[in-house]
Amino acid sequence: MSLPYRRILLKLSGEALMGDLAFGIDNAVVKRIADEIAQVVALGVEIGVVVGGGNIFRGVSLAAKGADRVTGDQMGMLATVMNALALEGAINNTGCNARVMSAVGMPTICETFTHRKALKHLENHRVLIFAGGTGNPFFTTDSGAALRAVEMQCDALLKATQVDGIYTADPNKDPDAVRFDRISHQEVLSRGLQVMDTAAVSLAKDNNIPVVVFSIHEPGGLVEVAQGRGTATIVS
């Protein structure tokens, strides 16, 4: 079977791990996602995962209450490490080999990101979970995902969202919203479509990385899009 992507970068928001909870991590949801990641590995695809932290903490929420934004963002980056550890455990439970690398050094908990070691993990077919976003405040894990996708020479960035692609407007609020099958990076930027932040889309555009936007709620959806099938919007 010929696969469209040899190596992919999956972006999972913190919200994706939350399920129907109002906060935190739903273990059943994490297990389902881990099972799907293991199925993608079984196809022979190398996979890196960038996890968000919005289910636990976002820097802007602290800044909105008058506190320091940098401190808030540091707390947000720590939240991504918690999610990464939860996902690592669930993937290891499937029998697959997962590793967490953090952009923020915390060597008693996980490896610190280095380009060379990260590439080795991927080449050895380990699921590599990138925690800590870019390691810098004022960025998001979407930007972290685009950055790692470029650095790790991924063939595509798979962005798991709440809906099955990019729409002209939020389909949960606007019944007239129309879904795109394909769209260019430039059009996503010029139309101001809310799929990833502009820094992330720009980085993907400048480095010719296709972005595949699909629903995390569709069972088996990840396995389908990893094979170039299923319902998704392809940004290229």
Joined tokens for residue 15: 């919200």
C-alpha closest to that of 53 among 127, 133, 110: 133
Residue nearest ligand UDP, CB atom distance: 52
Q: How far is the CB of 133 from ligand UDP (least distance, A)?
A: 2
DSSP string for residues in 148-159: HHHHTT-SEEEE
* Whether the Cβ atoms of residue 18 and residue 167 lie closer than 8 Å to each other: no
From the list 72-80, 109-117, 161-169, 215-223, the region that binds ligand UDP by CB under 6 A is 72-80
Per-residue tokens: 68 = 């320091």
Among 35, 46, 73, 164, indicate the residue that binds ligand UDP (CB under 6 A).
Answer: 73
Interface with ligand UDP (CB under 6 A), residue from 9, 14, 30, 99: 14
Judged by CB under 6 A, the stretch of 20-28, 75-83, 112-120, 155-163 that binds ligand UDP is: 75-83
Pairing of strands 127-131, 98-102: parallel
Q: Should residue 161 be labelled a site residue for ligand UDP when binding is judged by CB under 6 A?
A: no
Interacting residues with ligand UDP between 87 and 126 (CB under 6 A): none
Contact present, 82 and 42 (Cβ < 8 Å): no
Q: Is 144 in the site for ligand UDP (CB under 6 A)?
A: yes
Asked if 139 is part of the footprint of ligand UDP (rule: CB under 6 A), the reply reads yes
